[in-house]
Amino acid sequence: IQEGVASLAGYADVFQRNVMASGVVPQISLIMGPCAGGAVYSPAMTDFIFMVKDTSYMFVTGPDVVKTVTHENVTHERLGGAITHTSKSGIADLAFENDVDALLQLRRFIDFLPASSREKPPVRPSHDQSERDDPSLDTLVPASPNKPYDMKELIGKIVDEADFFELQPDYAKNIIIGFGRMEGSTIGIVANQPMVLAGCLDIDSSRKAARFVRFCDCFNIPIITLV
C-alpha cells in the first residue's frame, strides 16, 4: 500500500512475463498458504495450480471485506480454500493433504512435461511389455450402451504401469483429463466418463477439456481421446 502506483506497475511487469511465457514454458503455481489481493492474478494466469488442503487460500478480497460489503459471513475455506477451487470454481487442478505430499506429487507431475515448447516430451523407461495382453479389457466395456462403466479403470489398464496423473478430478467429473505414458512417452488423455452424466459434455467439462488440449498442443504432447 505504501508503494502506491509503483506497486501496480510491478504487478503489470509480472503479468507481462506470464503472458510472454504462455505456451513457451510450462507455468505451474503451488499455493501453500494464503494468497490474496493482487498476488492471486499471476497464479490464475499460469497453466496449472495446485493447493494444499486447510492451509492454502486464494481470493481477491478476504472474508472481512465480503462481510463489510455484503453483510455475509463466510470462512476462508469456503471463500477461496482448496476444496472450493478444485470442486466448484475449477481454478485449481489438485489439492494435496500437506506440504510434503504436494512437493512430492509436483515432482512426479513435472516429470511428464517438457522444459519448453522447443523440446519433445520426456521419454522414460517402461517395465510394461509393449505386446502385453489384458483379457479384462474384453469385458470392461459392457455390451449394452445404456450401462455405465468406469473410464478411469480403462485408462489405468492402457497406460504404462497404470501411472495416470489426473487433473481436476473433482471438477466437471463427466470428462477426464490427465497425463500418462505409452512405451515411455508422455501422452495426454481426454476421456468421457460414463459414470457421470453418461459422459455428456456441458459447459464446464468443455472448458476443462479445451484448456487441456490447448496446453498439449503448445508442448507437442500427443493426445488420446476415449469416447
pLDDT in tens, 156-184: 999 999 999 999 999 999 999 999 999 99
Q: How confident is the model at residue 118 (pLDDT cuts 50, 70, 90)?
A: very high
String of DSSP letters for 109-167: HHTTS-SSTTSPPPB----S-TT---TTHHHHS-SSTTS---HHHHHHHHSGGG--EEE
Residues 15 and 80 reside in one and the same domain: yes
CATH code (residue 161): 3.90.226.10
> CB neighbours (10 Å) of residue 9?
10
Q: Same domain, yes or no, for 96 and 60? A: yes
101 shares a domain with 154:
no
In-domain check, residue 120: no
For the chain, percent of residues with pLDDT exceeding 90? 81
Is residue 131 a part of any domain in this protein? no
Q: Is residue 128 assigned to a domain? A: no
Nearest Cα residue to 35 out of 52, 14, 16:
52
Write out pLDDT tens, residues 23-62: 999 999 999 999 998 889 999 999 999 999 999 999 999 9
Question: Do residues 67 and 12 share a domain?
Answer: yes
Judgement on whether residues 20 and 94 belong to the same structural domain of the protein: yes
Domain span holding position 187: 137-226
Give the percent of the chain with pLDDT over 70: 99
Given a cut of 90, whether residue 9 has pLDDT beyond it is no
Mean pLDDT of the chain: 93
163 and 208 share one domain: yes
| Neighbour tally for 49: CB within 10 Å | 24
